[in-house]
């Protein structure tokens, strides 16, 4: 079966949350690879030089950082994956291939036909996460577990003392 003859798991349409969204075109089982996040591969330096895709929202981009050091710019040669919105209670997650060169969106649970697809952006920003910065990246997901921002939570410090052992 050719890739083009495989039915799409998703469809893009207006989202009640934010602009466009990606929705399940049929029931999607847990652990399904729904689609690849595509776009032009650029460097961090190139990303820093590019303007925002939305004059009304200068922090809006379609960038996705890879562990290889490259960035996927979904705004250039991108696909439907760039329209997947953020939620603090996502039904999908992004997973890299082993080489850290490609990114795929997988379902975290069974997703019903018509349900909007979400993943947690968990945006990493250099420097301190100030109240102003959190507001710039305000979350509108409305989930009971909403943390109020699309920024990643700070890593929790281990309470284990040096020399402690498991057991």
Query: Average of pLDDT values for 48-53?
Result: 75
For residue 107, the model assigns a pLDDT of 98
User: Model-level pTM?
Assistant: 0.82
Element (H, E) at 35: strand 33-37
Indicate the pLDDT class of residue 38, thresholds 50, 70 and 90. very high
Q: How many CB atoms lie within 10 A of CB 125?
A: 14
What are the beta bridge partners of residue 156?
none
CATH class, domain 3-121, is mainly beta
Q: Is the pLDDT of residue 92 over 90?
A: yes
In the chain, domain spans: 3-121
């Amino acid at each position: 079966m050719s890739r083009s003859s495989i039915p799409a798991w998703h469809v893009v349409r207006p989202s009640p949350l934010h602009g466009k969204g990606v929705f399940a075109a049929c029931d999607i089982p847990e652990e399904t690879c729904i689609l690849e996040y595509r776009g032009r591969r650029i460097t961090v330096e190139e990303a820093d030089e590019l303007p925002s895709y939305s004059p009304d929202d200068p922090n809006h981009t379609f960038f996705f950082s890879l562990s290889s050091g490259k960035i996927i710019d979904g705004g250039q040669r991108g696909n439907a994956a760039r329209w997947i919105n953020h939620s603090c209670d996502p039904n999908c997650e992004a997973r890299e291939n082993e080489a850290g060169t490609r990114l795929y969106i997988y379902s975290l649970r069974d997703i019903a036909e018509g349900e909007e697809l979400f993943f947690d952006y968990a945006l990493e920003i250099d420097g301190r996460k100030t109240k102003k910065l959190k507001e710039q990246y305000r979350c509108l997901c409305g989930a009971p577990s909403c943390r109020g921002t699309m920024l990643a939570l700070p890593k929790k410090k281990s309470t284990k003392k040096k020399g402690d052992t498991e057991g």
